[in-house]
A and B are shown apart, each in its own frame.
Chain A
Amino acid sequence: NAGVMQNPRHLVRRRGQEARLRCSPMKGHSHVYWYRQLPEEGLKFMVYLQKENIIDESGMPKERFSAEFPKEGPSILRIQQVVRGDSAAYFCASSPQKGTNTEAFFGQGTRLTVV
């Protein structure tokens, strides 16, 4: 029973390049959430997606960041033209159903380093 799978675990990008982070939710889960953890800070919500729909993107920076969760395949968080300030750990979580009392299970994260 595989958990939430994220890849890559570590990603190094030069300034100006694109970063693509992938997340496969737990089996049977159709809701995906992305969070960012900056050094010395807590986790901050970025975006909530269902299959083919963005439900809440209130935590997403207005520029350069986008997310999708296609009908088939993993959810993708894309960061265009990365800058040093994008260096952080990005976590994906998934839950099985709609509702405010759903438990979120996290992946191991992708650690992005921008050089």
Chain B
Amino acid sequence: TQLLEQSPQFLSIQEGENLTVYCNSSSVFSSLQWYRQEPGEGPVLLVTVVTGGEVKKLKRLTFQFGDARKDSSLHITAAQPGDTGLYLCAGAGGTSYGKLTFGQGTILTVHP
């Protein structure tokens, strides 16, 4: 069974601060996806990383896939209140063909 450990579970910061969310596993994933979920809505895909060591940037968000494809991180620079939400990492591939293994999620609150 593949597991993804996501940390921290809760993050409360002030506007303008930087933050990093981590996803770690003992399993190798062929790709890893980051989602953001608003209350009462479904997860919305932010990015997919596929290659070990890959770094992708989306405005103030930087996503990295570990060299061994077992871990990933999401870094937000100069957080804004609009970044508030639930962030989820999800791994695909390996023996879990066709399905995603989700982390527990990080609830981010950015205070103005």
Contact = CB atoms under 8 A, between A and B. Distances in A.
B58 to A, nearest CB: 14
Where chain B touches its partner, the secondary structure class is strand
A83 B92 CA distance: 31
Contacts of B96: 45
Contact of A101 (B35, B42, B44, B50): B50
A109 B42 contact: yes
14 contacts: A6-B42, A33-B100, A35-B100, A42-B103, A56-B97, A58-B99, A101-B31, A101-B50, A101-B93, A103-B48, A106-B43, A108-B40, A108-B41, A108-B42
Nearest to A98: B98
A113 to B, nearest CB: 13
Interface residues of B, number: 28
A98 B98 CA distance: 8
> B42, B48, B93: which has the most chain A beta carbons within 10 Å?
B42
B102 A44 contact: yes
A84 to B, nearest CB: 21
Interface in B10-60: 30-31, 33, 35, 40-45, 48, 50
Given A48-B99, A101-B30, A102-B92, 19 more contacts: A6-B42, A42-B6, A44-B102, A45-B96, A45-B99, A45-B101, A56-B98, A58-B99, A91-B42, A91-B43, A101-B31, A101-B48, A103-B48, A105-B45, A108-B40, A108-B41, A108-B42, A109-B42, A111-B40
